[in-house]
Amino acid sequence: MKQIIRLTVNGDVYEVAAHPWRTLNDVLREDIHLTGTKKGCGDGDCGACTVLLDGRAVASCLTLAIEAEGFEIVTVEGLAASREKLHPIQQSFVDEGAIQCGYCTPGMELAALHLLSKNSDPTEEEIRAGLSGNLCRCTGYTKIVSAIKEAARRLRADRPA
Amino acid sequence: MSDNSVIGKRVPRSDAWAKATGSAQYADDLSLPGMLHGKLLRSSLPHARIREIDVSRARALPGVKAVITGADLPKVKYGNWRLVPATQDEYALAVGKVRFIGDEVAAVAAVDRETAEEALDLIRVEYEELPAAFDIDASMAQGAPVIHEETPGNISVTRNIAYGDVEAGLRQSDYVREDVFTMQAVSHAYLEPCSCLAQSDDQGRITLWTSTQTPYIVQCLLASVLGLRENEVRVIKPHVGGGFGGKMELRPWDVCAAFLARLTGKPVKFTMTRHEELATGRRRHPMRIWSRVGFRKDGTLVAKDFRVHLDGGGYNSMGPTAAFLVGNFGAMLYRYPAYRYEGFHVYTNNPPAGAMRGFGAPQALFAAESQMNMAALELGIDPIELRIANAMKTGDEIPDVATISSCAFRECLEEVARRSDWKRKRAELKDGKGVGIGCYSFITGGVFNWFDTQYPFSAAEVRAYSDGTVHLLTMASDIGQGSDTVLKQILAEELGISMKDIQITAADTAVTPKGDLGTWGSRVTLMAGNAVIEAARQIKEELFRMLSVRFNLNVIHDMECKDGMVRVKFRPDRGMKFGEAVAMAQKSRRGEPVVGRGTYTPRDMGLVTPTFSFGAQVAEVEVDRETGLTRVEKMFTVHDCGKVLNPMAVEGQVEGSIQMGLGYALCEELVMSSGRTLNASFLDYKTPGALDMPAGESVCIEVPEPRGPYGAKETGEGPVSPTAPAIADAVWHATGYRCKDLPITPEKVLRGIREIDRAARHAGDRDR
């Protein structure tokens, strides 16, 4: 039987009627119509479905929607402050050429946000380790790594001393 | 060319904003009111006759709106090789027989996915299992099961290339070597699983949004399968999450979605799971390559005999092209006075192979480049010097096949040797470390019209408006490689406007001009780029006429579109804003809009391609002698892609190619057992992750290609091929073990090292 599930996504509250076995990924994409979160495998292997739960990166395809109640959920749609002003991670992905087909991009950006929230000045090795749950088939990761390095620099510069 | 405004610049992708914010829509992101969800029932057996299908229980399930089988669809076979109808061997849903595990048998449309899945379980298929063949030898053996009745013997396609006297050449050679190489099946592993959404409109027309790299091919073939006329099908390409050759055909879900949408009157969506993609999806052809090559003592190539068997799986797919191209690439890079190629595309009861990035080149060049390295060793010539001595040059001809219209291969070899410190490392690296080389060449678009298109190979329409904006319409298909961006760059350069002033529609077969064959064979920049230039130049001519009248110009004056102006060269005061000039042109035509139309069809360019890219790559590896694990530390790549139109995009292609090449070399393999794919998840099918990637240096040697827009040629596929032979060579250099059967797994390396050690001990025993 369906249950009412109350989710806080990007600061907005949504109430959806869904079966308790429905994944957060399906509810975000199909019930709330936030299709920026992708589904690349449904097994938790590729990271395209990454979202943040209270700041922590999780695979939304392995998370039941019902488990996400009570958490602050952030999806790619919640990253930019406005249409005009992208989040520094997004802007760096654009500027550095870190995006090709774009299917891994939302997950990569959220994995990067999780990483940079814990480590504001990661080494290249730390960035690569931080992306180890996210697959990309287009870029060879090179420009994604440099975009995250650049985003870290911009975020540090933005932060009041 | 130095005063280009946007050509050659590091321009960010024009769709990057949409992709960075998650607003870019891919096929599975789309939904329509009342939409039904489709699911496919697939064969559980590799080869079987279908005796009966009972769908009654599935149809009776509440929420199920339709269930169809091969008996419901028109009996029309399809396949990309429309030029040779005998190669078109697929039904969307099986008729009479299934030929691989995963062959599509029935389709369901239901109110939600769960109901559709439940309905699949209620379909009863009664099979009569048939003997099956799972490799090329079993399939070609006497008495092998016949997979398609029309093809006794199971060899569906034979392709040949021959020039010079190979027998005489090999007889006269001072040194001849013969090797056999094999390559595994690998997956495209694009991140976006295939998906489509079909709607039947009030005119009875089908609109299909599908994850494709070839909208026009899908339009034509879907129409033929449904018994419609071409233009009663409209195909729209949304954003596509990678293709790499795996999305260039009409697929069963396209047909089923369209058919079910007509049947139910509701939109129908199908989205594949990753398991379906890996277990049943198209893959790169496993091949066995036998190669015999002869040299003179001084290293000059004399002749080569190249014979290839391709495991095509249950259907032809793009196999007829693969069976030609592998032979073409077997004789690329070097001057072969005599060459003979025979290729056999063999049906088996494995999932069908199709086109995949590099298409024939990764296999051919793993064999050819590995053999070159082995020959160099035995001839006592440095592998790079051996290559330079035989390297193709601009103007070389491949008899009856192609002319090399630009080539910087020699320069690539010299540069990669210098950058990688080749000579020193080859001489001095310690045991367990090694460097190796592999080279590549690739086509820039195909010339051979296998699709039998009745339209130009590429077309562009440019509409210029008096508000200063321009609309570019083309069927050229961006699947992530960045063609929308590069075409906008070309148009902005030609018209002297900003890329922000350009809107692009690509592709919607109802509005974008016919035709374009889509994204494959690294064709888009050259073919669509040339079409865009032609369209833009028509517009410029018209605007120049306005300028000439407006300023009463002397006929000798030269004009330009630049900085948003249409103006006299060196007299910027005599100019109009672009939009003003358009307005004037429109007035002069009594309101008719200003439109340019350009096309491109390669003519008089041989059989293969307008032009080839070239390049060389050096891999530096460390091999752990305890575990057999190969770690690639650095890749040096030097690429001849002609003029670089967007360095960021070219780098992205090379870097991405290295990831795919690395996987092909070391860790990617669809592991098969009696036709079943055993590792159909990303947990078990390993593509290299961020931590697996080597550091890299890549540079381009920019020799302008006369046939390319601004001198550009391909960059998307060539660089995927050298990585495996380069790594195999480096592993040999590090350990003495030479791998001739991809992938180079730790098990093979350990076994190889042990055999070498054992042989050395025996030799030691004998010496004592």
Residue boundaries of the structural domains of chain B: 16-22+450-600, 31-130+191-242+247-280, 358-447+608-758
Determine the average pLDDT of the residues in B20-30: 98
Q: Does residue A83 lie within any of the structural domains? A: no
* Residue contact A99–B649, C-beta within 8 A: no
Amino acid at B250: L
Query: Which residue in B497, B466, B644 sits closest to B560, CA to CA?
Result: B497
Determine the average pLDDT of the residues in B677-682: 98
Pairing of strands B470-474, B502-505: parallel
Rounded to whole angstroms, how far apart are CA atoms A28 and B29? 11
Pairing of strands B233-236, B206-210: parallel
* Residue contact A144–B690, C-beta within 8 A: yes
pLDDT of residue B612: 97
* Residue contact A41–B649, C-beta within 8 A: no
Q: What's the token pair of residue B469?
A: 């904006």
Segment B247-293, tens digit of pLDDT: 999 999 999 999 999 999 999 999 999 999 999 999 999 999 999 99
Rounded to whole angstroms, how far apart are CA atoms B244 and B438? 21
Determine the average pLDDT of the residues in B616-626: 97
Q: Does residue A69 lie within any of the structural domains? A: yes
Look up tokens 């003519």; give the residue.
B603
Look up tokens 């997979």; give the residue.
B147
Write the CB contacts of B737 (distance below 8 Å, at least 6 apart in sequence).
Answer: B731, B748, B749, B752, B753, B755, B756
Q: Is there a single domain that holds both residue A38 and residue A71? A: yes
- B66 burial class (0-12, 13-18, 19+ CB within 10 angstroms)? buried
Determine the average pLDDT of the residues in A11-23: 97
Amino acid at B291: S
How many structural domains compose chain A? 2
pLDDT of residue B4: 76
Rounded to whole angstroms, how far apart are CA atoms B721 and B363? 8
Band (B203; pLDDT cuts 50, 70, 90):
confident
CB B345 within 8 A of CB B312: yes
Determine the average pLDDT of the residues in B384-400: 94
Of A35, A102, A142, the CB nearest to B241: A102
So what CATH class is B358-447+608-758?
Answer: alpha beta
End-to-end CA distance of chain B: 70
pLDDT exceeding 70 applies to what percent of chain B?
A: 99
Segment B137-146, tens digit of pLDDT: 999 999 999 9
Segment A37-80, tens digit of pLDDT: 999 999 999 999 999 999 999 999 999 999 999 999 999 999 99
Query: Residue B391 pLDDT more than 90?
Result: yes
Query: Residue B484 pLDDT more than 90?
Result: yes
Q: Is the dihedral of CA B392, B396, B398, B401 positive or negative?
A: positive
* Residue contact B23–A36, C-beta within 8 A: yes
Look up tokens 């003997």; give the residue.
B131
Query: Residue B768 pLDDT more than 70?
Result: no
Query: Residue B499 pLDDT more than 60?
Result: yes
* Residue contact B191–A101, C-beta within 8 A: yes
Distance from the B283 Cα atom to the nearest Cα atom in chain A, whole angstroms: 15
Q: Is there a single domain that holds both residue A143 and residue A99? A: yes
Band (B3; pLDDT cuts 50, 70, 90):
low
CB B185 within 8 A of CB B286: yes
Interface probe for B, chosen from A31, A127, A142, A146 (most Cβ of B below 10 Å), is A142
DSSP B196: E
Look up tokens 């093809």; give the residue.
B151
Determine the average pLDDT of the residues in B295-302: 98
* Residue contact B683–A36, C-beta within 8 A: no
CATH code of the domain covering residue A70: 3.10.20.30
Of B25, B274, B482, the CB nearest to A42: B274
Query: Which residue in B68, B64, B119, B58 sits closest to B91, CA to CA?
Result: B68
Distance from the B194 Cα atom to the nearest Cα atom in chain A, whole angstroms: 10
Q: What's the token pair of residue B425?
A: 């490392």
3-state secondary structure at position B469? coil
Q: Is there a single domain that holds both residue A57 and residue A9? A: yes
CB B42 within 8 A of CB B84: no
pLDDT of residue B399: 82
Segment B396-418, tens digit of pLDDT: 998 878 899 999 999 999 999 99
Neighbours of A61 (CB within 10 A): 26
Q: Does residue A109 lie within any of the structural domains? A: yes
Contacts of B479 in chain A (CB under 8 A): 101
* Residue contact A127–B682, C-beta within 8 A: no
CATH code of the domain covering residue A150: 1.10.150.120
Band (B1; pLDDT cuts 50, 70, 90):
very low
Segment A119-142, tens digit of pLDDT: 999 999 999 999 999 999 999 999
Segment B707-730, tens digit of pLDDT: 999 999 999 999 999 999 999 999
Q: Is there a single domain that holds both residue A133 and residue A67? A: no
CB A25 within 8 A of CB A61: yes
CA atoms lying within 13 Å on the CB side of residue B672? 22
Segment B147-198, tens digit of pLDDT: 999 999 999 999 999 999 999 999 999 999 999 999 999 999 999 999 999 9
Vertex B723 angle, CA B718 and B725, to 5° = 110
Q: What's the token pair of residue B657?
A: 């190619």
Query: Residue B387 pLDDT more than 80?
Result: yes
Query: Residue B553 pLDDT more than 70?
Result: yes
Determine what percent of chain A falls in helix, strand and coil, rounding each to the nearest 5.
40, 15, 45
Segment B216-236, tens digit of pLDDT: 999 999 999 999 999 999 999
Q: Is there a single domain that holds both residue A102 and residue A59? A: no
Pairing of strands B175-183, B287-295: antiparallel
Q: Does residue A18 lie within any of the structural domains? A: yes
Distance from the A117 Cα atom to the nearest Cα atom in chain B, whole angstroms: 19
pLDDT of residue B236: 98
Neighbours of B292 (CB within 10 A): 18
Q: Is there a single domain that holds both residue A55 and residue A21? A: yes
Q: What integer best gives the mean pLDDT of chain B?
A: 97
pTM score > 0.90 for this model?
yes
Q: Is there a single domain that holds both residue A92 and residue A115? A: yes
Query: Residue B550 pLDDT more than 50?
Result: yes
Look up tokens 């399930």; give the residue.
B61
Q: What's the token pair of residue B649?
A: 């995009």
Rounded to whole angstroms, how far apart are CA atoms B557 and B568? 7
Q: Is there a single domain that holds both residue A8 and residue A70? A: yes
Query: Residue B767 pLDDT more than 70?
Result: no
Quote the domain boundaries for residue A43.
3-78
* Residue contact B23–A79, C-beta within 8 A: no
DSSP B24: P
Query: Residue B766 pLDDT more than 80?
Result: no
* Residue contact A101–B696, C-beta within 8 A: no
Strands across the sheet with B559-562, in order? Answer: B559-562, B565-568, B571-577
Of A39, A43, A141, the CB nearest to B690: A141
The partner residues of B472 in beta bridges, in order of sequence, read: B462, B504
Amino acid at B485: T
Q: Is there a single domain that holds both residue A113 and residue A69? A: no
Q: Is there a single domain that holds both residue A7 and residue A46? A: yes
Estimate to the nearest angstrom the gap between the alpha carbon of B182 and the chain centroid: 21
| The listed CATH number (2.60.120.460, 1.10.3720.10, 1.10.8.60, 3.90.1170.50) that belongs to domain B31-130+191-242+247-280 | 3.90.1170.50
Distance from the B656 Cα atom to the nearest Cα atom in chain A, whole angstroms: 4
Q: Where are the beta strands (DSSP E) in B321-398?
A: 338-347, 397-398
Rounded to whole angstroms, how far apart are CA atoms A71 and A54? 6
Q: Choose one of A59, A78, A97: the last residue of a domain.
A: A78
The partner residues of B183 in beta bridges, in order of sequence, read: B287
Of A94, A103, A144, the CB nearest to B192: A103
Q: Choose one of A78, A110, A133: the last residue of a domain.
A: A78
pLDDT exceeding 90 applies to what percent of chain B?
A: 96
Band (A147; pLDDT cuts 50, 70, 90):
very high
Rounded to whole angstroms, how far apart are CA atoms B374 and B738? 9
Band (A161; pLDDT cuts 50, 70, 90):
low
CA atoms lying within 13 Å on the CB side of residue B609? 28
Lowest average pLDDT, out of B15-19, B121-125, B402-406, B416-420, goes to: B402-406
* Residue contact B21–A127, C-beta within 8 A: no
Q: Is there a single domain that holds both residue A61 and residue A128? A: no
Query: Residue B135 pLDDT more than 80?
Result: yes
Contacts of A80 in chain B (CB under 8 A): 21
Vertex B719 angle, CA B715 and B720, to 5° = 120
* Residue contact A45–B681, C-beta within 8 A: yes
Rounded to whole angstroms, how far apart are CA atoms A103 and A113? 17
Q: Choose one of A57, A78, A99: the last residue of a domain.
A: A78
Interface probe for B, chosen from A89, A92, A100 (most Cβ of B below 10 Å), is A100
Check if B16-22+450-600 and B358-447+608-758 are the same fold. Answer: yes
| The listed CATH number (2.60.40.10, 3.40.50.300, 3.30.365.10, 3.40.50.720) that belongs to domain B16-22+450-600 | 3.30.365.10
Q: Is there a single domain that holds both residue A74 and residue A124? A: no
Rounded to whole angstroms, how far apart are CA atoms B612 and B602? 14
Which segments of B83-232 does DSSP mark as H helices, in order?
A: 113-122, 136-140, 166-172, 215-226
